[in-house]
Each structure stands twice: as structure tokens, then as C-alpha cells.
Structure 1
Amino acid sequence: MLSIALGVRQAKLDAEMRAFFQDARPWAFILFREACVSRVQVQALCNELREAAGHDAIVWIDQEGGRVARLKAPEWPTWPAAAKYGEAFARDNVTGIEATYLGHRLIAHELKSIGVDGDYAPVLDVPVEGSDKIVGDRAFSAEPKLVATLARAALEGLHDGGVAGCIKHMPGHGRATADSHLALPRVSVSEAELINDIYPFTRLADAEAAMTAHIIYEAWDPDRPATCSPKVIDEIIRATIGFEGLLMSDDLDMHALQFAMNGGLQQRAETALKAGCDVVLQCSGKLADMQEAAKGCANLTGPSMVRARAVESFAKRPAREFDADAGWARFNLLMNSQTS
């Protein structure tokens, strides 16, 4: 299996895409909005992707809730942004934790029912005043301890639904003053200040998967974004944070990496993997881009394969028994509660 997860932006595979997947055997796939038309269609697409890859690949999606949701109404329910769970916690701590767990348990129930078994959530970033709005209400709170508490509840909700989670964006996107989709952010604060940012990640260092940030942290490596920095990955993510799970890059297509290096997708993939990422993400949905990025990847082996198998153990296990109708009724009650 190739050390790459490939974005899919079509409702059904064409012959060329199918042939490429059969040859490349990517470790995983990622569904985007264009690939999600109906429940029946998504389930058929997931089956088609796994058949083409020749193995029971994880199919991931970005379904955080709020503005980051690939599954949209009216075909699918609408889930709140993470900040709404923080507001629920502020009204009542116990209610807020239960609502966070249940909201993500309901997401997992919906995903599992259509063949999707990985969610790029929860977000552990801690936004600060003056930072770019790309994180904003995707964060549970501006308080690191609360972010960690609610992220743990979210991850447990996904797990109980038989869905793997992925904490992001390690080691923290909350201070970035630019959107890494469009620019290469630089964070210039001291190492002591960055301790605040990594705190939630240290609390969830046992998570099965994490996604890197395309950000330069000058206190750690003034020349390379975290995704491409052996120093940040080895010394901060693996050692200081203590993360031992599968480390995935953010999307190789994002402008941050284009500004960080002169080469194309092949070089970006090679650089990220050499720096210590286990798997890279390529999300354009374009066959030529997939083919170029794949040239920079090798088959999963050694510790990376062990970590990938551990993620699969979360994604492929059956969901616990769950009454979704009762779950929605309870969830709506919790989120609408004004208990102080």
C-alpha cells in the first residue's frame, strides 16, 4: 500500500482513475463535497474505491461540523461547529461534555452507515487574538485545557461509532495570522509561549492519527514548515508532545508548501515523508496531480505500517449499539439547554 491518501471529487470513478488506483494501491481515500451526492451513491463509491485499491482502504472525510462539512443538508443532518460545544460547556460542564461526545457519536453513525470510516476531526488548535479566521469557530475554545477535554469526548464519540479520528493541526494552527491554504504562515512567538499551543496535543498524544500544520514555527525551525521539518516532527511532535500514532501531512496542494519549496508534488511528498510523516495527503482530485504525488511515495513499511494498522483497527471495528433517533433527541435537548 502506497503511503498516500488521495482526494476524490467525483461521484463515480472513471476508467482512468480506477486503473490508477488499481496500480498505485493508495493506503486511503478522502471524500470531498463533489463526491457526496446521496447516501446510496456514497456507499457505492466507497465500495468502488476499495475494490479499485485492492484492499479494505479507509475512506476519510472532513466532517467536523459547522463550515467544515462535506456532507450537507438536505441529504444529511447539520452538525454545529466545535465552538458551540464550548458554549454548551460554559453553560454547564457536564452537559457540554455529553453534547460533544454525542454530536460526534452521531457523526460516526452517519459516516459508518455510508461506508466512511475515518473523520479528520477533532481540531485541537487554540486560537489567539489576531489570528487568521481559518480556525475560528472550528476550535472548541481559546482555553487549552477545555480544548483537550472536549476533544477527548469527541474522539470517544467517533470511536464508539467505529470511526477513526485524526487530531489536527499538530503542533498547533491557532497562532497563524494567515490561511495555509493561501500562504505560508510564520509563528514568531517564543518556545515558552508555544507550550500553550501544544498542550491539547499532549493530552491526546495517544490518538491513533494526527495531521501536521503547514506552518513555520521560528522558535523550532525558522526555515521549514512543520510538515517538512525533521526537527519539529522528531523533537516536538514525537518527543515533547509524545505522539506515537500515524502522522499525516495536511494537503500537499496547499499554497503554504508551494511557497516553502520550489518543487512540485513529487518533491513535496518526498520531503514530508523524509521529514517523518507516515502518510501524505493529496486532495485536488485531479489524476495528473495524484500521479505526480504518488511518484514521491513508497509503500508503507516498518513503524509506519504498524501505525497504519493501528488506525485501521479503529476504523474497521464495529460500532457499539446505538439508537440514533434517541441520540438526536437527546443531542438537540442538550444543545438547546440554557442551564447555567
Structure 2
Amino acid sequence: MPPVPLAVHPLIIDVAGTKLGSHERRRLKRPGVGGVILFSRNWASREQLAGLIASIKSVRPDLLVAVDQEGGRVQRFREDGFTVLPPMAELGRLWMRDAMRAVRAATACGYVMGAELRACGVDLSFAPVLDLDWGRSGVVGNRAFHADARVVSVLAQSLISGMRRAGLAHCAKHFPGHGWANADSHVDAPRDTRGLRTILEHDAAPYDWLRHSLLAVMPAHVVYPKVDTLPAGFSRRWLQEILRDRLGFTGAIFSDDLNMQGARAAAPGDTAAVLMALNAGCDLALLCNRSPLEQGRSLDVVLQGLEEALESGHWQPDPSSEHRRLALLASYPPVPWDAWMRSAEYVSALQDLTRI
């Protein structure tokens, strides 16, 4: 009996270096792969980056190309013409001095980020961070705009506006909020012992207020034991009952990297983690830093596991997931770098950004 064909492409994977290997080209053609997340190791120069992305798109034009380009300490590309973006806390501090100037600067920041990434062919940046700065989380820190959910929402909306004007999709993170939990989910299993009402009134409020603006959301690898025993990214209660049904979010849901300890503590392996995320309600599952190891053979194991889970009935994809993924792709080809950087809109945005 032939395998059941995959009608969705939920896995977002990485590639090992600055060029595609033949084994990576074959992998990107496989059913189940929906896109590529890029890291600093995939960077040598702007010309090389554009070439790598063009190679990815030549394998399958519908592959989503994404990167973490928040600003501050989380910015993968920052040389050869890329603007070094400020940490979002700088925009929050500017708000306290001049709110409308901060709104303008946040919009400019989003536009500069979007223009530079789109000129190289990137479709989406995993930004903005909507976590509140409670002064408790070292991993969030100055990645957060502010401690006030209202300020976070206004500045995030402005950043998103600039990104979308440049043609770049976004993904807000980390639902329902990582700012209260002390531990770093990259290396630990954080817990937030507050109740649902408190979390919804504060940390999750931006997701409610911005629900009609957000294209994508990433849940946190944080356990909120008064709501569910599973991390939010593995929790149907958080993703289906609260984010989808209660808050009315209709965009794409990405898992956070399933290679992080916050996910590892709840799942016994790569395939199990991916299936747990997808069955909980994620449309797309991020599995990072696997390609450099043994030519990424563990990724092939996961892809095989997805096909087997579909055939056995252990995974039933939501057909809407594929529509949500495709909606994140850029709607027009990259504009040449020099032409974009000389445009009046880019120059004006860059001037507004550098003034802060």
C-alpha cells in the first residue's frame, strides 16, 4: 500500500552552511518540508546570502525563508550593509520621553528591517517579541519593548506596520508570555505559576488587542501549571481553547525551536516533539540545528515519521495550516538592494531610526 501523500508542509528546518549541499536539495524537495530558518552560520556576505536564498527558492518556490532578526542581541545579519537594529527596549525608553516619536521610530525600524531582508529574499522575521519586561527573565531582558502591555502593543503594531509595508511577514512571540518565568527555555524548563486570569490580563493582552494584525504567533516553551501541565507549545488548551477560540487568532502558529530544553523536557525525541506540537495546534514546527549533524539525517527520520504518523492516523493535519503557511510568503520578488536603499522611503526610515 503506497504512503498517504502529505498535503501540508509543516516542518521548518535549517541548512548547514553558506551553500546548499546536494543532500539538502533532496531534503527540501521532500513532502513535509515547509521552509528554512537561517542562522549566522549561513552568512558570509550579502551577495552570498541572496544566492543561498535563491538556491532554496529554486528547489521549491513555495518554501518559506525565515530568520530571527529582532534587533539588539538577536540579529543574525548585521554586516555588509545591514543596519544594526536597536534592542526593542530602546524604543520603550524613547516612549517614556516622547511617545509619538517612539511610534515613528518603531515603524521605521520595521521598515528598515523589512527592506533589507526582502532585498535578499527573506520572507519572514521572527519578530516582534511581545513579552513584558517584568525584570525577571534574563533571556527576554531588553528584547522586550516595555513592562506595560499597552505600550508593548502600540510599539509592536508600529514595528509590524513597517515590516508589512516593506513586504516582510512577522511572527509575534512568545505566547502567552515568557517575561515572568526566570529560567531560559533554551537550556531549562521554565515555569510560570500565576493563574490564567492574571496572565490574560497582562502578558497575553497584546495578543488579544493585536489579533486582527498578527500574521503568525509563536508559543513559549514555558509550563503554566495552573492552566496545563504541558508547555504552551504542546498544549491544546493554550493553542486551541485560548489563542484560537477565546482570543480569536486566525493566523499561523509556529512552534518555538523543538531542539530547546523547554521542549525536550516534555517530549522524548525529535519526531515525538514535532507531532506533539502539530497535534496541539501548531501549523508549523521548527526543528533547528540538526543539519550540521551527520548531514541532517535526523531530519530525514522526522520526515519519515510524519509520513508514518499520517498513514497510521496518529496525526491528522488541518488543511487550513497550508493556507496559513502560504499566506506568509512574500507577494512579489525581491527588489534589488541598491535600488531599494536609494529609495526616498528607505532613506527617510533610516534617518528616523538613527535619530534614537
Q: TM-score, normalised by structure 1?
A: 0.91
The correspondence for 2:79, drawn from 59, 73, 77, is 73
Root mean square deviation of aligned Cα: 1.9
- Write out aligned runs for 1:87-166 (5 A): 87-129=93-135, 131-166=136-171
Tell me how far 1:241 sits from its aligned partner: 2.3
The correspondence for 1:258, drawn from 257, 260, 264, is 264
Quote the Cα distance in structure 2 between the aligned partners of 1:147 and 1:62: 19
1:40-59 Cα offsets, whole Å, 9 max, x none, are 1111100111222x233221
2:34 matches 1:19: no
Task: Give the partner amino acid of 2:54.
Answer: N
Quote the Cα distance in structure 2 between the aligned partners of 1:256 and 1:187: 13
Tell me how far 1:239 sits from its aligned partner: 2.0
Task: Give the partner amino acid of 1:326.
Answer: S
The correspondence for 1:324, drawn from 346, 350, 353, is 346
1:137-181 Cα offsets, whole Å, 9 max, x none, are 000001110000000001111100000000111111111110000
1:275-306 Cα offsets, whole Å, 9 max, x none, are 11111001114212322332344696512122
- On the 8 A contact 1:3/1:297 being kept in 2, the answer is no
- On the 8 A contact 1:2/1:297 being kept in 2, the answer is no
Quote the Cα distance in structure 1 between the aligned partners of 2:169 and 2:10: 17
Quote the Cα distance in structure 1 between the aligned partners of 2:74 and 2:306: 28
Quote the Cα distance in structure 2 between the aligned partners of 1:25 and 1:272: 14
The correspondence for 1:63, drawn from 55, 66, 69, is 69
- On the 8 A contact 1:98/1:153 being kept in 2, the answer is yes
Task: Give the partner amino acid of 2:271.
Answer: Q
Quote the Cα distance in structure 1 between the aligned partners of 2:44 and 2:160: 26
SS for the counterpart of 1:187 is: coil
Structure 1 counterpart of 2:275: 270
Tell me how far 1:8 sits from its aligned partner: 2.6
Instruction: Mark the CA change 1:25 to 1:305 in structure 2 (over 3 Å): closer, same or farther.
Output: closer
Could you list the runs of 5+ residues in structure 1 that have no partner in the other structure? 336-340
Structure 2 counterpart of 1:194: 199
2:215 matches 1:208: yes
Structure 1 counterpart of 2:284: 279
Task: Give the partner amino acid of 2:302.
Answer: A
1:293-338 Cα offsets, whole Å, 9 max, x none, are 32344696512122223223xx2247897532332223222x1xxx
Instruction: Mark the CA change 1:178 to 1:325 in structure 2 (over 3 Å): closer, same or farther.
Output: same
Tell me how far 1:191 sits from its aligned partner: 1.9
- On the 8 A contact 1:11/1:41 being kept in 2, the answer is yes
2:56 matches 1:49: yes
Size of the aligned set, in residue pairs, is 328
Quote the Cα distance in structure 2 between the aligned partners of 1:296 and 1:64: 33
SS for the counterpart of 2:52 is: helix
SS for the counterpart of 1:124 is: coil
1:218-238 Cα offsets, whole Å, 9 max, x none, are 1210x2111111111111211
Structure 1 counterpart of 2:187: 182
Structure 1 counterpart of 2:327: 310
Structure 1 counterpart of 2:300: 291
Quote the Cα distance in structure 2 between the aligned partners of 1:245 and 1:76: 29
- On the 8 A contact 2:137/2:178 being kept in 1, the answer is no
Task: Give the partner amino acid of 2:231.
Answer: P
Task: Give the partner amino acid of 2:133.
Answer: P
Task: Give the partner amino acid of 1:289.
Answer: S
> In proportion to residue count, which structure has more strand?
1
* Identity percentage of aligned residues: 31
Quote the Cα distance in structure 2 between the aligned partners of 1:109 and 1:8: 23
Structure 1 counterpart of 2:5: none
Structure 1 counterpart of 2:38: 31
SS for the counterpart of 1:27 is: strand
Task: Give the partner amino acid of 2:298.
Answer: D
Instruction: Mark the CA change 1:119 to 1:104 in structure 2 (over 3 Å): closer, same or farther.
Output: same
Q: TM-score, normalised by structure 2?
A: 0.87
Moved more, 20-29 or 162-171: 20-29
- On the 8 A contact 1:127/1:173 being kept in 2, the answer is no
Task: Give the partner amino acid of 1:81.
Answer: P
Quote the Cα distance in structure 1 between the aligned partners of 2:301 and 2:344: 43
Task: Give the partner amino acid of 1:61.
Answer: V
- On the 8 A contact 1:252/1:281 being kept in 2, the answer is yes
- On the 8 A contact 2:38/2:66 being kept in 1, the answer is yes
Structure 2 counterpart of 1:338: none
SS for the counterpart of 2:174 is: strand
